[in-house]
Structure 1
């Protein structure tokens, strides 16, 4: 600040701009270019229509007479502080700051009582419209009708406008707005819907991202998969897994993104963009879970490209998918394939004809009236374990399926069936072939064997899809399943004898002969098993359970080996493992995570104390989250706690992505197959995060900030005038 020189009492005196003036007069600002002071408040908010105010010191010209700064009579700063136009400017400044904190409250509406009342009414109207949008989103309802534009009340305009009209019957304010308000400012158009859906979706995303950032570590993993929607477009789903501040594991859907190409580069770029747009740092990513497709799992695939940006984001091949591949690979022998083909043929034979399906339902009512299930279930095309439910139903209906096929072939033998059923020649031929296949003992013993073997892994498949399951517990469940399969393999003779007796009883009910296929020379046999066996039981024991169990065990050991799961290195810190392992070996394996530890130089001694603590426990925690809460005190074991939290963050399956696709199929149907991905993501976020509370006030605030609204038009005009004056 440049000093000034004045002549006082014949002496030259140098005056300086005092720093104390800034503290006393908060509105005072110094202009370097003008070498003087100004009143910021009056410059921005004073009414400058009066020329005297426009040219006053501190407003129209700088304050340079430093000798007259303060004083009762000539004090420029003191007198300016008491001027009416200055006090009015201060009042307008306070109103403006209040508006910044609450954008839905404009300056004009606060000054004018009538405008304030109009503002309250408009906010209530917006609240009602937002409630209707949220209702449709939460319950997965389509908002728009076939023709929802125009003002023709005779046309069905969809659920959203129907809800608005229903609300208007009980809301007089909304009713007057729809009847008397401007047609171009009713705020029920598709564009307003898109804006509100987008704002609500972003609010849900911000809630999830905030929970990640508030967690102890701030770390997360991504779960992603790709699907083709009803418009034949490729869509990728982004989901995150994290541990919140209460040590609870979450898997949450974040966003859908359309893909023009599904190359590794395109997918990785899209995932990283969605992560950054959501406000997350890729450097905090500690895992990524996909299926086993090469474009995702290969070193040069999506996971490899993402690891170049986030080196610690280890890839996990979805456990559920690996289990499914293991079962599928072990069920490729001829007998199981024939069984699957037969079940599919039978299901389609009944399902493709309402007449045949109704006939089977009548057979169940006549021969099994106590049964509540009336239809067969089809085999899942992709998940072998999900076929267990179908196989259970199929075995329960086996006897009645045979009766159904025989009744179609020979209707005169079933007088109990009324209704005058007549069948075509093609129906009888097909039913006769299916009847012959079902009365073959090979079909019965194969069905029984597959049922009992898959029964062991079915609970595992169900458990693996749980969101709260940590990767250590999942690995233990797989180890338990392997042990159970090995125990079954060791006792296969006694176990299969029991299965064989059960199959014989079912064969007796349907009139099947318990015989083994005829054997032929090995060189001539190409299309069926030709194992030696003295008895029928010995033959089928060698053909079915032994092969099935051996292949399944081999597949599980291969796909879930430590070589294929690099995240296994962190398992040594789990209580169940640390008591059995050497601390030195565990310490070496944990070097990869040193940078994530608060004090990694103390890790070795901390692991020794951790092992002693776990060894003293009568009952070790069953899960990692339980170990964190009960044993891993943050002050005593900071490094161990951080490692356990990282292990909880590591993904187990990509089931969350599959769940998001289920919501996608319900939301984007053939009847509403054209919508932006922003709208699609917002609707799916509302539906998936059904229990999350949405702050309507924040939605209104963001909606008003996006652009000028006719409902608050006067306030926006006031802002424009104020900015021009300044």
Structure 2
């Protein structure tokens, strides 16, 4: 191995100490390094040999290519070399050069060409544009402004405003460009910048997944961006430093894009979870089944970012259930607009619980959170239903003129839904049925011991649901009476949905509400939940929750597992004074001596990508960023490129 720079006649040494950097192991990057340093004798050596034996010193790299800890960045390329026979200017400065190699062995080597200042300036100009674009994308701010036309100048845009700010702060490359063209960036250039950023981010995403082996596949509901439909995809893996990662992408054709375009090996997929509304559920079920048929280790499971009860409700293609779930989304969006609306709801809760101050305070605290995504969402909704109606009716009346037209309109839409008996009945059925799965769902998203308990309690949950199904007449009569009594108290007429009557050309007296809701709501809801639990928590998934399916398929040495487990137990049962147990999977993976337990490390890395088990370690950051982008960006400003 050389302990000096591979560049001929490089002056670095004792008088000018510089860090030495290995040649890259990647053949393409290694070839670039050889071309730049003009060592013809190295051109026929393999990248592996160059990596082991040759180094370049730090003086040949831009300072931006070396971080504060003197570590070379992955994409760094040497660009700084001494120009041969260049007269000294007395200042001892090095000049930057672009090195051109011979096109063939028969041609003489071309002289070094000094990099033109214009090229430097243009690189700095592009760098400024990319930095502004990345800043806007990271903050979910659209580059174009409210009055922008894509075919017109961007003079009033957010993008141009930040460029102007940089010029004011002394960005000479931007200023020169503006002085010459009276415009820093055209709409066409902006679109090209976004496409380049998208391709780069996407390539890094796929590269990260490939390098780190096993991964899980998660999808969300279809979204429309710029008139096109895309499926949000999240790829979850554990990187080489044992940190859980989740990366985001958008796909049009899921499986073919992942395998043919992205180049992912689906044999490495160890889990899949799909969250979608009732209209798309059947398609995603078909996809999940086909993926498991071809790749049995891609276990279908529940998403850690979605409560079980909301997942079960969102998957039902029943008009009453969809009315409830869509209204809950509207309620969350409505009260998120202003703290004043939240205070209005709290005031309404106080009115309905005048003698139960403790209960009222508890409900107020719940309503300050994202309660529409809780496992007990339907119970909470039932408890505050009358207060909700009072609140939105008060906002819609707008007697003191506090609210704008959009808020009063939204309040009216919510009020119409809350006073529909189909909503009351569906909410009542969901509350009573999903009470049976609530504890199970909370355990599935709990600590390791709770998850293991959930895996053993599924049979009891299914038994309770089947008992309800077998005695539906009794249960439905009870639910119906509850719903009718509540509707009567709220002065809501008990009736069959008009859509059903119109479809079957019946008059309002043609079918009894109790019979209709039993056949079209109670029975299908219970049957759907039983079916979904059996599919979501198949035997393979239950084994994964107990970590049994990982043995012995994906561990380094199954023969030593028993002895290693004993050593692992001894390590933590005999912990020293002041030593604390890791509180999460992430902390356990970061232990310095975890490398001495290769089987345990493999098991924990696999647990870290299972969609059901990753919530507490917060590896759903990509999903939260995606949600923030979709919620906070107006439809006309959404961009597939910027979504990345």
TM-score, normalised with respect to structure 1:
0.47
Matched residue of 2:611: which SS? coil
Give the superposition deviation at 1:163: 2.5
Of 243, 249, 252, which aligns to 1:248? 243
- Partners of 2:530 and 2:159 in 1: how far apart? 55
- Partners of 2:221 and 2:455 in 1: how far apart? 26
Aligned positions of 1:322-361 closer than 5 A:
323-324=309-310, 326-327=312-313
Of 304, 308, 320, which aligns to 2:290? 304
Deviations 1:144-182 (A, max 9, x none): 35336567xxx8542212322343334362564144325
- Partners of 2:325 and 2:631 in 1: how far apart? 32
- Partners of 2:484 and 2:233 in 1: how far apart? 51
Structure 1 pair 527/209, CA: closer, same or farther in 2 (3 Å)?
same
Alignment correspondent of 2:643: 684
Deviations 1:255-277 (A, max 9, x none): 223x3xxxxxx53111213432x
On the 8 A contact 1:324/1:385 being kept in 2, the answer is no
Deviations 1:343-371 (A, max 9, x none): 979x99xx9xxxxxx9xx89979995999
| 1:190 maps onto 2:187 in alignment | yes
Matched residue of 1:649: which SS? coil
Alignment correspondent of 2:159: 160
Alignment correspondent of 2:222: 227
Q: Which has the bigger relative contact order, CA under 8 A and spacing at least 6?
A: 1
Of 628, 638, 644, which aligns to 2:598? 638
Alignment correspondent of 1:651: 611
On the 8 A contact 1:275/1:281 being kept in 2, the answer is no
Structure 1 pair 210/661, CA: closer, same or farther in 2 (3 Å)?
closer
Structure 1 pair 286/612, CA: closer, same or farther in 2 (3 Å)?
same
Matched residue of 1:147: which SS? coil
- Partners of 1:137 and 1:645 in 2: how far apart? 31
Paired residues in the alignment total 482
Matched residue of 2:608: which SS? helix
- Partners of 1:443 and 1:41 in 2: how far apart? 76
Structure 1 pair 200/602, CA: closer, same or farther in 2 (3 Å)?
same
- Partners of 1:551 and 1:642 in 2: how far apart? 38
Structure 1 pair 238/484, CA: closer, same or farther in 2 (3 Å)?
closer
Larger radius of gyration: 1
Aligned positions of 1:52-71 closer than 5 A:
none
Structure 1 pair 274/157, CA: closer, same or farther in 2 (3 Å)?
farther
Alignment correspondent of 1:569: 543
**What is the RMSD of the two structures over their aligned residues, measured on CA atoms?**
6.9
Aligned positions of 1:391-406 closer than 5 A:
391-397=382-388
Aligned positions of 1:135-146 closer than 5 A:
135-144=135-144, 146=148
Of 538, 557, 561, which aligns to 1:599? 557
On the 8 A contact 1:286/1:313 being kept in 2, the answer is yes
Q: Gaps (5+ residues) in structure 2?
A: 1-5, 10-36, 42-82, 89-93, 102-110, 335-340, 355-359, 402-411, 468-478, 493-508, 615-619
Aligned positions of 1:53-202 closer than 5 A:
88=85, 109=114, 116=117, 121-144=121-144, 146-147=148-149, 157-171=156-170, 173=172, 176-182=175-181, 188-202=185-199
On the 8 A contact 1:327/1:384 being kept in 2, the answer is no
Give the superposition deviation at 1:229: 0.8
On the 8 A contact 1:289/1:653 being kept in 2, the answer is no
Deviations 1:610-636 (A, max 9, x none): 67878989999876556656799432x
- Partners of 2:537 and 2:98 in 1: how far apart? 62
On the 8 A contact 2:133/2:143 being kept in 1, the answer is yes
- Partners of 2:243 and 2:209 in 1: how far apart? 11
Structure 1 pair 363/157, CA: closer, same or farther in 2 (3 Å)?
closer
Alignment correspondent of 1:268: 255
- Partners of 1:240 and 1:362 in 2: how far apart? 39
- Partners of 1:486 and 1:613 in 2: how far apart? 40
Alignment correspondent of 1:238: 233
On the 8 A contact 1:306/1:313 being kept in 2, the answer is yes
Alignment correspondent of 2:270: 286
- Partners of 1:601 and 1:136 in 2: how far apart? 53
On the 8 A contact 2:220/2:233 being kept in 1, the answer is yes
Matched residue of 2:222: which SS? strand
